[in-house]
Amino acid sequence: MPELTHGSNTLAELDATGGLISGGGAKIECAGGLLYASSGTVLRPETPAVVTNIPDLSAGALMKPDPAGGLLSFLTQDSGNWIVRQYAHSNYALAREFRVPGVNGTPASLARWGTGGLGFVTSSNQLFLLNPSLGNKDLAIEHTAWPTQAMAGQPFRLALTVTNQGPNAAMDVFVTDTPPSLTTVLGAEAAQGTNTVLGGNIVFALGTIPANSAVGLSVRLEPTNAMETSLTNLASVSSAFADPAPGNNTTACAVPVLTPESAF
């Protein structure tokens, strides 16, 4: 991108800086003394120099910087879904991510409203008003009951609990349970929502979990191995919004398994 200056009647190119902004046709916006491109490039124009490049943005992504609010927001496509990704202005780390359901047509004109709100219109005359701060929540998952040991050919049950530690409700909550390979899935239950077996995993669609609430799940398995071993069940929880504390989004439980012969 050329650096330009102007005289009394002219605008002249001072320095060719082509290649600093990636993505042909990227839209740019100035805020807080920096240039922001919809392709993900943040540029300091005086030098000129690239401050950072935000990765994994789709062509046609929309962008809205908010240095005062501390966030740089993008509306981008990922696997056919429209996703809002917000990055911290301090270090450009991903701070928040969530899916926007029900988008028809092509979004345009990402704008800010109120304190931290985002809005956009689509080519199908839809208007979306988003409040990303409502996505702040901390989901946790843990195994809460399991047998001290199991026996090959005899079913056993594992219990799990998903807790929303707040401060806001968690929407579109999913739990993916990955049973050990040497087991047969006999059934699964949850206090709310539905579940299905996909590719060997048990996927629970739990819907919305209010703040400071918990949902119980259970899985029934039968070991099929023919020797003494330990089987490990894995589970993870996710929702429409990225979790600010992902360290408690996964859990593992190991159950020793005995053959009928080794039990004596």
Distance CA(15)–CA(185), nearest Å, equals 65
Full-model pTM: 0.62
Using one digit for the tens of pLDDT, what is the confidence trace for 88-111?
888 898 877 888 889 999 998 899
Distance CA(223)–CA(16), nearest Å, equals 67
Using one digit for the tens of pLDDT, what is the confidence trace for 206-230?
999 988 999 999 999 999 876 657 8
Using one digit for the tens of pLDDT, what is the confidence trace for 172-210?
899 999 999 889 999 999 999 999 999 889 999 999 998
pLDDT at 5 over 60: no
Burial 152-169 (b: 16+ CB within 10 A, else e): beeebebebbbbbeeebb
Q: Which residue has the higher pLDDT, 122 or 225?
A: 122
Segments making up each domain of the chain, as ranges: 3-135, 137-259
Least confident interval from 22-31, 137-146, 170-179, 200-209: 22-31
Q: CB-based contacts of 213: which residues, under 8 Å, 6+ apart?
A: 163, 164
At 3 the pLDDT is: 47
**Are the folds of 3-135 and 137-259 the same?**
no
Burial 107-127 (b: 16+ CB within 10 A, else e): beebebeeebebbbbbeeeee
Q: How far apart are the first and last CA of the chain?
A: 78
| Mean pLDDT of all residues in 25-48 | 87
Averaged pLDDT of the chain: 85
At 136 the pLDDT is: 74
pLDDT at 249 over 90: yes
Q: What's domain 137-259's architecture?
A: Sandwich (2.60)
pLDDT band at 124 (very low <50, low <70, confident <90, very high): very high
At 13 the pLDDT is: 46
Query: Which residues are paired to 31 by β-bridges?
Result: 34
pLDDT at 160 over 60: yes
At 7 the pLDDT is: 47
Report the percent of the chain where pLDDT is more than 90.
Answer: 45
Report the percent of the chain where pLDDT is more than 70.
Answer: 88
pLDDT at 126 over 60: yes
Fold topology of 3-135 = Methylamine Dehydrogenase; Chain H (2.130.10)
Q: Which residue has the higher pLDDT, 234 or 116?
A: 234
| Mean pLDDT of all residues in 124-146 | 89
| Rounded (5°) CA angle 36-39-43 | 35
pLDDT band at 14 (very low <50, low <70, confident <90, very high): very low
At 252 the pLDDT is: 97
| Mean pLDDT of all residues in 109-128 | 92
| Mean pLDDT of all residues in 134-157 | 89
